[in-house]
Structure 1
Amino acid sequence: MASKYIALPKGVSEQDFDAALDEYRAILGAENVYVDDLYLAAYSKIMIPDADANHTPSAAIAPASVEEVQRCIAVCNTYKVPVWPISTGRNLGYGSAAPGSRGQVVMDLRRMNKIIEVDADLGTALVEPGVTYQQLYDYLQEHKIPLWLSCPAPSSIAGPLGNTVDRGVGYTPYGEHFMFSCGMEVVMPTGEILKTGMGGLANSNTAQVFKWGYGPYLDGIFTQSNFGVVTKLGLWLMPAPPAFKPFVIRYPDETDVGDIVETIRPLRMAMIIPNAIVISHALWELGTQLKRADWYQGTDSIPDDIVKELTRKKKVGVWNVYCGLYGSPEQIEVNWAIVQGAIKASGKGEIFTAEQVGDDRAFKYRAELMQGKMTTAEFGLYNWRGGGGSAWFAPVSQARGSESVKQLALAKKILTKYNFDYVAEFIVGWRDMHHIIDLLYDRTNPEQLKAAHACFDELLDAFTKAGYGTYRVNTAFMDKVADSYGAVKKDVNQKIKRALDPNGIIAPGKSGIWN
């Protein structure tokens, strides 16, 4: 018999779900419990290459306080209803706000949007899940607090808690976000509240300044996991430097990528360049501004000669390396001389400063990111091909030129096989390198949707076989990536899950972790 709901939680009867919803309404108010198709549309839309039906929620609930989260978790335990917590739900290329599997109730934490504290002297902040980067940025500006954020590319609409808990990254010297977090408050599956690090100490005033506390360090197990609901997060913010000098190094040939990495890695490791270095391919650079159909009408991958033509016309490199120098004018002058010397010695690349590029849209967007300013320019990529399809592929390698050459060849081979474009960038951390590929496709075209799924699957297979682990993945491929890290790790994760969440109510399947 058909249910009156668009989906039911797995193993939950309609009668029990009715009762659970009544209890949610009693806790949150009917206006904060959503079951109608119209309201659930915002929690159902995905861009990843998977069937919508696999990620259809049964309902959504929106608590406004830690106490309401606790009470909702108690209801979940009573009726064995699974919940999928989200902060701002802007994880677009990884699954958006939709649950990882059909029938889960989305626990939308956007109403929990308090900036609890910002300490201007110590450079710390304490925020709730619904706080966006734009909100925190505006707070700093309004109160004239000389601290900078580090944010991901879709900065203004995303949130620091959600991004950090999913181990996202940014573009300032504080760009490894989890490294620069300090202290969590977590609602456990039992409803109990855990305060990590120094936070568990009565009257503590060091929860946001000392990460470790006493005994095992627990914060990490609440990242990319389903062991609890993080309701507060401490952040370290960067003191605004006296001076900042952004620049771009442009390279004319795709084969230059190996030399690029070998040239810049020593500068990054020595902290001459203190922020994550972005090596942006031309199609990423131009895809934020242009539409593919205006330059190429073929259904296959865009040919390399067309890409070269585009770079000449638009005056960008095939590779565009974005960096920043931070500190006093005197420090920057010294480091600028070192950078220029390294580029000159390499015999490749041409450096451009802000003054030289003028009103260049791509440079402006990158310079803003390297200062922690708000921008949504990267969403222009979704106009490149159109059709609303996007899946981020994110393998990690050593920061070696030889690794970038191998990964480039492997990625282009597979993308070309399925008629997709290489829209990508390498990001050099310290000793690691993230290779971020945006698999863009027309989601309204059933053939492209099928091809995108097969392409992503083959990318995972090929890169895993080559020893390149994926550090984040969309909700359709979480199990596959979890399997790639070995049976022992998967078993340990499952044992922790069963110990902490015996009813398996929090985000079943998140990161391949099942009860």
Structure 2
Amino acid sequence: MVSKYIALPKGVTEEVFDVAISEFREVLGGDAVLTGAQQLAPYIKTMMPVADEEHVPSAALLATTVEQIQKIVAICNRHKVPVWTISTGKNLGYGSAAPAERGQVVLDLKRMNRILEVDKDLAYALVEPGVTYQQLYDHIEEHKLGLWLSMPAPSAIAGPVGNTLDRGVGYTPYGEHFMFACGMEVVLANGEVLRTGMGSMPNSNTWQVFKWGYGPYLDGIFTQSNYGIVTKFGFWLMPEPPAFKPFVIQYDREEDIVEIVDTIRPLRINGVIPNAVVIAHALYEAPVKARRSDYMTGPGSIPDEAVFRIMKDHKLGIWNVYAALYGTQEQIDVNWKIVRQAFGKSGKARILTEQEASGDPAFVYRAKLMRGEMTLKEFSLYNWRGGGGSMWFAPVSQARGSETLKQMALTKQILARHGLDYSGEFIVGMRDMHHIVDVLYDKTDPEQTKAAYQCFDELLSEFSARGYGIYRVNTAFMDKVAETYGPVQRNIHKILKDALDPNGILAPGKSGIR
């Protein structure tokens, strides 16, 4: 018998789901409960090398209030219906808006998009999940609040709640986003509403200024997890500095990455450079200026000779180091002297300021990110090869030059074995280093899709075997990454899940937790 639904939740009959859908409509109204194939199309398409049918939702619910969410979780508990929550659903390359498992109901919170408070003096915001960075940026500009955002590269369409809950990062001194989170409101699986930190104190006015509250710190368990539904989220904003100086430093040899990282590390630890430093490979920057087909057609990974031509044609280094200085002009002048001396010792670096690089499109979009301005320019990556396939591979290591060449060599070997290009960057934090690689492929090509899956699987296996943990991953590989962190952590996650969500209704499979 053909079902009236494009998918059904695991273990739920059509008759039971009919009752649940009817109850959802009583809570939300008919227009906010989506079950038709066309209505659900935005929640199906992914960029992962698996069949989209594996991630088809059974329905989507458009909630607008906390009270509605409380009623939704009650219905889900009653009928054992799993629900996959998204805020803006724009985590492209990590799973998009599709649920982790076929048949899950998507709880879409994009209509919960109120900016509840922005405090100019204390520099914080309190927002709902559907608020986008663009919306908040426009609010700050309209009210001339003199505050800066930190956001990921797809800034305008993504939102601070979803990005921070997946522990995403940005490019200003406030770029470690969860570090600057302060206070959450969470609907638990039993319908209770928890306010973390100082938010649990009646009449408190310190919810967004003091992170810890009293007793165990709980906010962390609601990141990269499925223990609750975050409905309000507080975070700190950066006061606009008196002066800002972005710069790029270019190097021409891949082996220079060792010197680059070892030069950056003390500057970051000592706070001379206050934001995360991006070290972008030429092939990561090239899509802003060119397409792959301009330099190579046919199968296989792009050869070094083509990379050298790209560098020459578009004035790129093999490594392009982006960072900025913030503060008074006097502070910047002192720190700029330190930066120039540090990078100038070997004579290998080309140091370019905003004056020399102002017309370069790659520099322009990087500078915007480092001062909290909206841009979608990094989506040029998806035009490099075409075909709509993308997965972010994101291992973490110590910020040491000795960690770089072996990682890059291993990554390039695995990618080349599967006919894919190395499109990567290293990002140096305070003491850590993220090696971010966009595994780009043509999802319309079955052979390339198969190769991309095998490539990503091999990357995860080889890096984890060498002790490099992945900090974030797409929904198709969440179980595999969770396994690399060992049985004790997985068991603790399971104990928490069983205690907080005994019916397992909240996002089963998120981060490998069921």
TM-score when normalising by structure 1: 0.99
Secondary structure in 2 matching 1:179: helix
2:338 partner letter:
I
Taking the aligned partners of 1:222 and 1:356, their CA distance within structure 2 comes to 44
For residues 254-294 of structure 1, what are the alpha-carbon distances to aligned partners after superposition, in whole Å with 9 as ceiling and x for unaligned?
A: 11111110111111111100000000010111123321112
Taking the aligned partners of 1:138 and 1:16, their CA distance within structure 2 comes to 44
For residues 193-241 of structure 1, what are the alpha-carbon distances to aligned partners after superposition, in whole Å with 9 as ceiling and x for unaligned?
A: 0000000000000000000000000000000000000011101000000
Deviation at 1:186, TM superposition (A): 0.2
Taking the aligned partners of 2:58 and 2:12, their CA distance within structure 1 comes to 11
| Equivalent runs, 1:81-480 vs 2, <5 Å | 81-480=81-480
Deviation at 1:3, TM superposition (A): 1.7
Taking the aligned partners of 1:199 and 1:14, their CA distance within structure 2 comes to 41
Taking the aligned partners of 1:168 and 1:347, their CA distance within structure 2 comes to 35
Taking the aligned partners of 2:382 and 2:414, their CA distance within structure 1 comes to 21
Checking the alignment, whether the CA contact within 8 Å between 1:112 and 1:131 is kept in structure 2 is yes
Taking the aligned partners of 2:241 and 2:157, their CA distance within structure 1 comes to 25
1:377 partner letter:
K
Residues paired across the two proteins, number: 514
Structure 1 stretches (4+) deviating beyond 4 angstroms?
A: none
Checking the alignment, whether the CA contact within 8 Å between 2:394 and 2:470 is kept in structure 1 is yes
Taking the aligned partners of 1:7 and 1:498, their CA distance within structure 2 comes to 26
Taking the aligned partners of 2:315 and 2:52, their CA distance within structure 1 comes to 40
Checking the alignment, whether the CA contact within 8 Å between 1:288 and 1:383 is kept in structure 2 is no
Structure 1, unaligned runs of 5 or more: none
Deviation at 1:313, TM superposition (A): 1.1
Deviation at 1:346, TM superposition (A): 3.2
Checking the alignment, whether the CA contact within 8 Å between 2:288 and 2:361 is kept in structure 1 is no
Taking the aligned partners of 2:51 and 2:38, their CA distance within structure 1 comes to 19
1:326 partner letter:
Y
Greater displacement, 294-303 / 411-420:
294-303
Deviation at 1:358, TM superposition (A): 2.9
2:75 partner letter:
V
Taking the aligned partners of 1:481 and 1:233, their CA distance within structure 2 comes to 27
For residues 27-59 of structure 1, what are the alpha-carbon distances to aligned partners after superposition, in whole Å with 9 as ceiling and x for unaligned?
A: 111001100000100000000111212111011
2:470 partner letter:
T
2:238 partner letter:
M
2:498 partner letter:
R
Checking the alignment, whether the CA contact within 8 Å between 1:289 and 1:381 is kept in structure 2 is no
Checking the alignment, whether the CA contact within 8 Å between 2:89 and 2:97 is kept in structure 1 is yes
Checking the alignment, whether the CA contact within 8 Å between 1:196 and 1:219 is kept in structure 2 is yes
Taking the aligned partners of 1:245 and 1:23, their CA distance within structure 2 comes to 56
Greater displacement, 347-356 / 218-227:
347-356
Taking the aligned partners of 1:479 and 1:226, their CA distance within structure 2 comes to 14
1:482 partner letter:
A
Deviation at 1:253, TM superposition (A): 1.1
Secondary structure in 2 matching 1:107: strand
- Residue 8 (structure 1) aligned with residue 33 (structure 2): no
State the superposition RMSD in angstroms: 0.6
Deviation at 1:306, TM superposition (A): 0.8
Checking the alignment, whether the CA contact within 8 Å between 1:382 and 1:440 is kept in structure 2 is yes
Taking the aligned partners of 2:102 and 2:5, their CA distance within structure 1 comes to 12
2:243 partner letter:
A
1:84 partner letter:
W
Checking the alignment, whether the CA contact within 8 Å between 1:140 and 1:147 is kept in structure 2 is yes
Deviation at 1:298, TM superposition (A): 3.0
Secondary structure in 2 matching 1:441: strand
Taking the aligned partners of 1:418 and 1:258, their CA distance within structure 2 comes to 27
For residues 421-470 of structure 1, what are the alpha-carbon distances to aligned partners after superposition, in whole Å with 9 as ceiling and x for unaligned?
A: 00011100010000110000000000011000000000000000111000
2:68 is matched with which residue? 68
Taking the aligned partners of 1:281 and 1:16, their CA distance within structure 2 comes to 53
Secondary structure in 2 matching 1:178: helix
Structure 2, unaligned runs of 5 or more: none
Taking the aligned partners of 2:13 and 2:283, their CA distance within structure 1 comes to 49
Deviation at 1:295, TM superposition (A): 1.2
TM-score when normalising by structure 2: 0.99
Q: What's the % identity of the aligned pairs?
A: 65
Checking the alignment, whether the CA contact within 8 Å between 2:34 and 2:60 is kept in structure 1 is yes
1:17 partner letter:
F
2:74 partner letter:
A
1:500 partner letter:
L
Taking the aligned partners of 2:119 and 2:495, their CA distance within structure 1 comes to 38
For residues 390-428 of structure 1, what are the alpha-carbon distances to aligned partners after superposition, in whole Å with 9 as ceiling and x for unaligned?
A: 000000000000101111011001000001000011100
- Residue 488 (structure 1) aligned with residue 485 (structure 2): no
2:34 partner letter:
Y
2:267 partner letter:
L
2:232 partner letter:
K
Secondary structure in 2 matching 1:154: coil
1:236 partner letter:
W
Taking the aligned partners of 2:101 and 2:369, their CA distance within structure 1 comes to 33
Secondary structure in 1 matching 2:72: helix
Checking the alignment, whether the CA contact within 8 Å between 1:263 and 1:346 is kept in structure 2 is no
Secondary structure in 2 matching 1:359: coil
Secondary structure in 2 matching 1:390: strand
Deviation at 1:79, TM superposition (A): 0.5
